[in-house]
Amino acid sequence: MTTVHERVDTFHDNDQKPIGYGRMLRKEDPRFVRGRGRFVDDIQLPGMLHLAILRSPVAHARIVAIDTSAAEASPGVKAVVTGAMLAQQGLAWMPTLSNDVQAVLATDKVRFQGQEVAFVVAEDRYAARDALELIDVEYDVLDPVIDARRALEPDAPVIRDDLEGKANNHCFDWETGDEAATAAVFARADVVVSQDLVYPRVHPAPMETCGAVADFDAVDGRLRLWSTTQAPHAHRTLYALVAGIPEHKIQVISPDIGGGFGNKVPIYPGYVCAIVASIVTGKPVKWMEDRSENLISTGFARDYIMRGEIAATRDGRILAIRTNVLADHGAFNGTAAPVKYPAGFFGVFTGSYDIEAAYCKMTAVYTNKAPGGVAYACSFRITEAVYLVERIVDCLADELGMDPAELRLKNFIRPEQFPYKTKTGWVYDSGNYEPTMRLAMDMAGYAELRREQEEKRARGELMGIGISFFTEAVGAGPRKNMDILGLGMADGCELRVHPTGKAVVRLSVQSQGQGHETTFAQIVAEEIGIPPADIEVLHGDTDNTPFGLGTYGSRSTPVSGAAAALVARKVRDKARIIASGMLEVSVADLEWEKGAFHVKGDPGKSVTIQDIAMRAHGAGDLPEGVEGGLEAQICYNPSNLTYPHGAYICVVDVDPGTAQVKVRRFIAVDDCGTRINPMIIEGQVHGGLTDGVGMALMEMIAFDEDGNCLGASLMDYLIPTALEVPDWETGFTVTPSPHHPIGAKGVGESATVGSPPAIVNAVVDALKPFGVRHADMPLTPSRVWDAMRGQARPP
Ligand code: MCN
Ligand code: CUM
């Protein structure tokens, strides 16, 4: 099923009428390029007040006293609220998306630097911020736990003493695979390689920070909340549970979102504070965090300390993989993942290889750092899993003296083995790995690159070639085993065709930049033959869209994309019955061709979807038993996830004098099944690869030993720009998903997942002459320098 041919429907302007998949320009861009997007901070309501949050300056301390009197007297201030005041209403704590609790405002202790301690509501943003400085908080500073390895030591300070009976910093244990079977395979293997790896804590750093505008109407008891959320419906349910406002009285609106990357999945205290503030003041209240607040207090990603072990035969057959993980979840477990998956989908750490046994044991701990634990284009921890397996496979290649491409090719799951059940229980729906790998190698000119590398090494130049091959699991549900706080991971979708043949499709998922207004119009267009320009995509408003669990884990195309195709087919089925009446033939005698039904054998006798839409709403008879109107609604529950894959090859040059890494080339071949809009897919891949350069070479949320966050601005927390990245070379293969109605798999996080190991593998490969087998991210010049020096062989 693999091909590299693309159906080239190049849509240069959206007035053209081609139907179906292709490089259609994004319908949302005219408003964005004109600066007419409508983001949360653009919302202005009459009489709106502004909220600012006082945050803890220290990582761990008992709150002795808070004096708000000076702040209350400050000009323009309407209210100052502390945790103690929230506690009186039972609102000081809120549930997280993973069954932990998190302080909305600290009451007893602060548990990370940047934690929310109090808030001020004032007439404008400046008055609110000024008043923060007048709040006097007395802290009794405690020893912090910053290093996850320290957290479980018997004498470590207990962070979560709010939890009843909690006498340590243990968060959860999790395991998968078969420990005994894996140990047996390791015992008889010719070769065992183990490597310690750290995936540092990083931040999604979206361009738009988090924020909300809350507007509570005390008369009718309705709450409207504009907020930066990737999951408006799930958030609404949580607010209903926390605030006790009935769900039908809450409207969550997620307008244009300026990037999410997972940062906007969790519910943050700021959202709840804005709601409380609106209830207390009777006025609309806006909270918009600044860059530092976003970087120090909102959902971080990764922070896994891993030991990877791999067992193989001498001739390079991989037998088993084992890993032990210490996961740092910060002060509150705010991970957004299906509840039965506290480690997300890390269980796919067996990668793309057909092996005999696998086992993972994980311990998660609390530390005095910001809560979170999943966000940042990770497909629920698959980023960490892919990094682990692709790094240790390279370590094995090094040990065996084998080419890393050859080692991978030798161990791939073969096409005839799909659907393939992994040793940790995941059923990969489809895959054809070798052609994807070969295409990447061809595009790179792999053999030629190795020759070049050999010549350069002989001259003392440091050139590295790194490979990574990944399989992702994206598209959560199915609902029977995947839910967030009891809400099953299925998606609603509604399609209405108006009398003139224009349509509106309403989605439960939310776009934060991925182009849903375009691609979902294309999906529907392909099914019912209405041009994409005539199909309006609505999302991000709980009053106007059907229930569904939102966008993360690249689930929109696998779940809501399927829902959109199926709802369109349902509408088409009804249209067929109406057409049979219009053409006076039986339904069986009709043939569908992009946009019209015609009588079999008589293409001249036909009615278009637009004719049918008018008839469905118009005067005149409809066939027996058919109600008027042309619309349908469904809720789609996926039978499995989809498993996209990809082969990435990175070429780096390392300056031996400065240890600076330059990514010279990067070849990315992705297989996401049926491709809806290749231009958008390439954009997703380009963005993800750029993320990968950031994580591999630059990004890390660092702390000093007191728990001060050292990356509170983009001067210190480095993110990549056009200057650090090469011209991406992308290619693709197509292996459709067998269970998805149009064969599509997700792709939004593939490149972020797949690229870091390719880059690290390339740098380590470049440093081979120094005997380096591993170096931890981010591979900044100082780390590369240390690696070169620390392990340099004597001349
Ligand atoms: N697509 C396609 N053909 C496919 C698969 C996808 O044309 N076979 C298109 C989709 O229609 C959609 C886009 O590619 O327009 C991404 O689709 P999908 O893989 O389904 O992912 P989601 O839409 O669910 O997006 C979420 C994913 C995640 S979880 C993160 S994190 C991330 C990402 O997308 N955050 C992003 N990409 C981002 N891109 C931007 N610009 N901003 C973010 O915050
Ligand atoms: Cu893990 S980041 Mo995305 O799934 O929203």
Q: Quick one: average pLDDT of 341-357? A: 97
Residue recorded with tokens 């509150």: 332
pLDDT at 10: 46
- The pLDDT tens digits for 353-409 are 999 999 999 999 999 999 987 888 999 999 999 999 999 999 999 999 999 999 999
- Note the pLDDT of residue 374: 80
Contacts of 563 (CB under 8 A, 6+ apart): 491, 492, 493, 507, 508, 548, 634, 635, 636
> What is the spatial distance between Cα 273 and Cα 86, in angstroms, rounded to a whole number?
9
* Mean pLDDT of all residues belonging to the chain: 95
User: Residue 539 C-alpha to ligand 1 middle, in angstroms?
Assistant: 15
Residue 684 CB less than 6 A away from ligand 1:
yes
Q: Give me ligand 2 centre to Cα 375, in Å.
A: 5
Ligand 1 center to 377 CA (angstroms):
10
For ligand 2, is residue 230 a contact (CB within 6 Å)? yes
* Nearest C-alpha neighbor of 629 from the set 595, 578, 581, 686: 578
Per-residue pLDDT band for 790 (boundaries 50, 70, 90) equals: confident
* CA 399 from centroid of its chain's CA atoms: 34
Q: Are 788 and 771 in contact (CB under 8 A)?
A: no
Pairing of strands 427-428, 93-95: unpaired
Query: Is residue 721 pLDDT above 90, yes or no?
Result: yes
Q: Is the CB of 266 under 6 A from ligand 2?
A: no
| CB contact at 8 A, 293 and 318 | no
CA count, 13 A, side-chain hemisphere, 23: 10
pLDDT score, position 373: 77
For residue 535, what are its two tokens? 């199909």
Question: Which ligand gives the minimal distance to the CA of 260?
Answer: 1
The CA distance from 639 to 249, in Å, is 33
How many A from CA of 737 to the centre of ligand 1? Answer: 17
Rounded CA separation 669/502 (Å): 37
Tens of pLDDT, residue by residue over 256-265, are 999 999 999 9
> Using an 8 Å Cβ cutoff, are 793 and 501 in contact?
no
User: Residue for token digits 């294309």?
Assistant: 522
Q: Is 625 exposed, middle or buried (0-12, 13-18, 19+ CB in 10 A)?
A: exposed
Phi-psi region of 262 (alpha: psi -120 to 50; beta: other; left: phi over 0): left
**Could you tell me if the ipTM is greater than 0.95?**
yes
CB-ligand 1 contact for 513 (6 Å cutoff): yes
Regarding the beta carbon of 514 and ligand 1, being less than 6 Å apart is answered yes
Name the architecture of domain 491-636.
2-Layer Sandwich (3.30)
Report which bound ligand comes closest to the CA of 564: 1
Topology of the domain covering 382-475+640-790? Aldehyde Oxidoreductase; domain 4 (3.30.365)
DSSP string across 151-215:
HTSTTSPPS-TTSTT--S-EEEEEEEE-HHHHHHHHHH-SEEEEEEEEEEEE----SS--EEEEE
Q: How far is the CA of 220 from the centre of ligand 2 (A)?
A: 36
In this structure, the residue with its CA closest to atom 40 of ligand 1 is 513
768 pLDDT above the threshold of 80 = yes
Q: Whose CA is nearest to atom 37 of ligand 1?
A: 748
Q: For residue 38, which phi and psi values (nearest 5 degrees)?
A: -125, 100
Confidence of residue 620 (pLDDT cuts 50, 70, 90): confident
Answer yes or no: is pLDDT of 213 > 70: yes
Ligand 1 pocket residue status of 756, Cβ below 6 Å:
no
Q: Across-strand partners of 542?
A: none
pLDDT in tens, 327-341: 999 999 998 889 999
**CB atoms inside a 10 Å sphere around CB 733:** 26
The sign one gets for the Cα dihedral 520, 526, 527, 532 is: positive
Q: How far is CA 664 from CA 465, 716, 730, 759, in A?
A: 10, 25, 14, 11
The 8-class DSSP code of residue 313 comes to -
Lowest mean pLDDT segment, chosen from 99-103, 302-306, 791-795: 791-795
What's the rounded mean pLDDT across residues 275-281? 97
Mean pLDDT in residue range 446-463:
98
Residue with CA nearest ligand 1 atom 17? 748
Q: Which two tokens mark 380?
A: 């629920």
- Ligand 1 in contact with 519 (CB < 6 A)? yes
Ligand 2 atom closest to the Cα of residue 378 is: 1
Inter-CA distances, 722 with 653, 686, 693, 725, 749, Å: 18, 11, 11, 6, 19
Q: Is 206 in the pocket of ligand 2 (CB under 6 A)?
A: no
Q: How far is the CA of 516 from the centre of ligand 1 (A)?
A: 8
Which pLDDT tens digit goes with each residue over 181-197?
999 999 999 999 999 99
Q: Give the rounded percent of residues in the chain with a pLDDT score beyond 90.
A: 94
What does the pLDDT read at residue 791? 54
Report the pLDDT value the prediction gives residue 431, as an integer from 0 to 100. 98
Q: What is the DSSP letter of 413?
A: P
Strands 645-654 and 631-636: unpaired
Atom of ligand 1 nearest to the CA of 263: 31
Widest CA span in the chain: 93
pLDDT of 792 higher than 80: no
pLDDT (average), residues 697-701: 97
Atom of ligand 2 nearest to the CA of 554: 4
**Which of ligand 1's atoms lies nearest the C-alpha of 644?**
8
Q: pLDDT tens for residues 459-490?
A: 999 999 999 999 999 999 999 999 998 999 99
Predicted TM-score of the model (pTM): 0.97
Which pLDDT score is estimated for 14? Answer: 47
Inform me whether the pLDDT recorded for 6 exceeds 50: no
DSSP, collapsed to helix, strand or coil, labels residue 33 as helix
Structure confidence at residue 18 as a pLDDT band (50, 70, 90): low
* Alpha helices (H) in 244-338, listed in sequence order: 269-281, 291-297
Q: Does the beta carbon of 748 sit less than 6 angstroms from any atom of ligand 1?
A: yes
Residue 337, ligand 2, Cβ within 6 A = no
Distance (Å, rounded) from C-alpha 666 to C-alpha 386? 18
More confident residue, 72 or 1: 72
Q: What angle do CA 169, 172, 174 make, to 5 degrees?
A: 145
The contacts of residue 81 (CB under 8 Å, 6+ apart) are 105, 118, 119, 120, 121, 273, 276, 277, 280
- Where along the chain do the CATH 3.90.1170.50 domains lie? 40-142+209-257+264-297
CA–centroid distance, 616 to ligand 2, in Å, is: 41
Cα separation, 339 vs 347, in Å, equals 14
| pLDDT over 60 (residue 27) | yes
* Ligand 2 neighbour 262 (Cβ under 6 A): yes
pLDDT at 3 (0 to 100): 40
pLDDT digits (tens, 9 = 90+) for 52-71: 999 999 999 999 999 999 99
- Which mutation among 207, 508, 554 tests ligand 1's pocket best, with the greatest number of atoms within 8 A of CB? 554
**If you average pLDDT over residues 156-185, what whole number do you get?**
98
479-532: pLDDT as tens digits: 999 999 899 999 999 999 999 999 999 999 999 999 999 999 999 999 999 999
Q: Is the pLDDT of residue 641 over 50?
A: yes
Cβ atoms within 10 Å, residue 401 = 7
Cβ of 375 below 6 Å from ligand 2: yes
Ligand 1 atom, smallest distance to 511 CA: 23
Residue pair 298/262 in contact by the 8 Å Cβ criterion = no
- Which runs of consecutive H residues, i.e. helices, occur in 502-608? 516-528, 562-583
Q: How far is CA 501 from CA 27, 186, 610, 787, in A?
A: 19, 64, 4, 64
Of 202, 254, 302, 378, best ligand 2 pocket probe by most atoms within 8 Å of the beta carbon: 378
Residue nearest ligand 1's atom 29 by CA: 552
* Beta strand 596-599 pairing with 590-593: antiparallel
Distance 374 CA to ligand 2 centre (A): 7
Tokens of 587: 């339904």
Is any ligand 2 atom within 6 A of the Cβ of residue 549? no
Ligand 1, atom 41: nearest CA belongs to which residue?
A: 513
Task: Considering every ligand atom shown, identify the ligand nearest to the alpha carbon of residue 742 and give its number.
Answer: 1
**Cβ 343 vs Cβ 171: under 8 Å:** no
Q: Is the pLDDT confidence value at 629 over 60?
A: yes
Distance from C-alpha of 132 to C-alpha of 72, rounded to nearest angstrom: 10
User: Is the confidence at residue 794, as pLDDT, over 70?
Assistant: no
Query: Which numeric CATH code is attached to 40-142+209-257+264-297?
Result: 3.90.1170.50
Distance separating alpha carbons of residues 12 and 575, to the nearest angstrom: 30
With a cut of 50, say whether residue 446 has pLDDT above it: yes
Q: What is the mean pLDDT of residues 712-721?
A: 96
Q: Where in the chain is the domain with CATH 3.30.365.10?
A: 382-475+640-790, 491-636
Ligand 2 geometric centre to CA of 342 (Å):
15
> What spacing in Å lies between the alpha carbon of 702 and ligand 2's midpoint?
22
Asked if the model's pLDDT at residue 8 lies above 60, the reply is: no
Structure tokens at 9: 């429907």
Which ligand minimizes its atom distance to the CA of 523? 1
- Which residue from 684, 685, 689, 730 has its CB within 8 A of the most atoms of ligand 1, so it is best to mutate? 684
The CB of 254 under 6 Å from ligand 1? The reply is no
